[in-house]
Structure 1
Amino acid sequence: MSASDIYRHAPLGSKIRFSNGEPRPPDRFTRKVRAWEEENGTGTLVQWSPGFESGTWSSPPTFGLHIATYASYGVPVIVLRRIYSTTSQLQFEIIERPRFGMARILTAIGEGDELQHLAEDEAAAQSWLTRHRYHGARIDMVVDPEVANRPLLRGMAA
């Protein structure tokens, strides 16, 4: 799938694989392996933001993948996310979608959404929200894991 397809159709909370199509280099080439890992991996779709066009400036729609969280003594220290535009040349694949009945805890970012947590059900989401306070957070139940039509530009209807 293209980056545009992921933006338009992958629901928040989906596990996404991204790849440049190249084979992994042998382990003895450590720099090449590190470079390859930058363009090949998996992440969870956690945010999307529509593009913007004006007379002199434009930006494409973007989506963000949560790659990893690094912690020290149980406290998150670094959260690694990658933001991709719909013009990315990488290939993407949906590995797993959130299941029916799961609950997403979302916050608004501009005209897009950001996933804060994916819970097994509404009760677990309510419990998580009482422990982790997010201003403006809302619970979005997964009704149809296949549907996620998003506007490409700000102000457009979905």
Structure 2
Amino acid sequence: MSAQLIYDLVPLGSTLVYTDGSPRPPERHRKKLAVWETRNSGGRLIRKQAEARVGNTVLPASITLHKGDYGNQGTIVLRVHQTFSVNSDLKFAVKERPAIGSVLVLARPGDDAELVHLAANRADAEEWLTRHGYPRAVFREITADTVAADAVEGRAAA
């Protein structure tokens, strides 16, 4: 499916994979493999940003994936995110959706909110929030309606 369909249909917290369709280079070609991995990987959908206008320039809507955390002994030093325009030529697929009853911890309210944690339930979300500093955080529970919203206008999120 396209990045536009991901933006339109897939809920935050879903795990996605994406590809450009090219074959994986052999391990011995490290530089080619590194380039290939930037266009063939996956991550958790953490943000959907609407189209924006800056002067005469129009920035298209985009999706952001959390690809990983790097650190040592429980301390995260680096978070890796990758943002894709809805006009991206990559093909996306949903690997896993958040379970019904799980709770999204969003950094701030509103349509431009960013997912900072996916908890199994509300109690886990509240406990996580006491250990992390997000003063404007909001919770959004994944309901059956959220999952059912994957089919809109006859289109299905595969």
Tell me the TM-score range normalised by the shorter chain.
0.7 to 0.9
Alignment of 1:1-158 (within 5 A): 1-53=1-53, 56-108=56-108, 111-143=111-143, 144-147=146-149
> Partner amino acid for 1:4?
Q
1:96-122 CA-to-partner distances (Å, cap 9, x unmatched) read 000100010012387411001000011
In 2, are the aligned partners of 1:10 and 1:146 still within 8 Å (CA)? no
Q: CA RMSD in A?
A: 1.9
Give the share of equivalent positions with the same residue, in percent.
Answer: 35
Counterpart in 2 of 1:154? none
Structure 1 residues 135 and 91 mapped into 2: Cα distance closer, same or farther (>3 Å)? same
Counterpart in 1 of 2:156? none
1:118-150 CA-to-partner distances (Å, cap 9, x unmatched) read 00011111111111120210110001324269x
In 1, are the aligned partners of 2:109 and 2:138 still within 8 Å (CA)? no
In 2, are the aligned partners of 1:17 and 1:40 still within 8 Å (CA)? yes
Gaps of at least 5 residues in structure 1 are: 150-158
> Partner amino acid for 1:66?
H
Q: Secondary structure at the match of 2:147?
A: coil
Deviation at 1:72, TM superposition (A): 2.2
Gaps of at least 5 residues in structure 2 are: 152-158
What is the TM-score when the length of structure 1 is the normalising length? 0.87
Find the aligned partners of 2:110 and 2:56 in 1 and give their Cα distance: 21
In 2, are the aligned partners of 1:50 and 1:112 still within 8 Å (CA)? yes
Structure 1 residues 148 and 55 mapped into 2: Cα distance closer, same or farther (>3 Å)? farther
Matched residue count: 149
Between 115-124 and 25-34, report the one with greater CA deviation. 25-34
Structure 1 residues 80 and 30 mapped into 2: Cα distance closer, same or farther (>3 Å)? same
Structure 1 residues 67 and 146 mapped into 2: Cα distance closer, same or farther (>3 Å)? farther
> Partner amino acid for 1:93?
A
What is the TM-score when the length of structure 2 is the normalising length? 0.87
In 1, are the aligned partners of 2:109 and 2:136 still within 8 Å (CA)? no
Structure 1 residues 78 and 118 mapped into 2: Cα distance closer, same or farther (>3 Å)? same
Structure 1 residues 96 and 115 mapped into 2: Cα distance closer, same or farther (>3 Å)? same
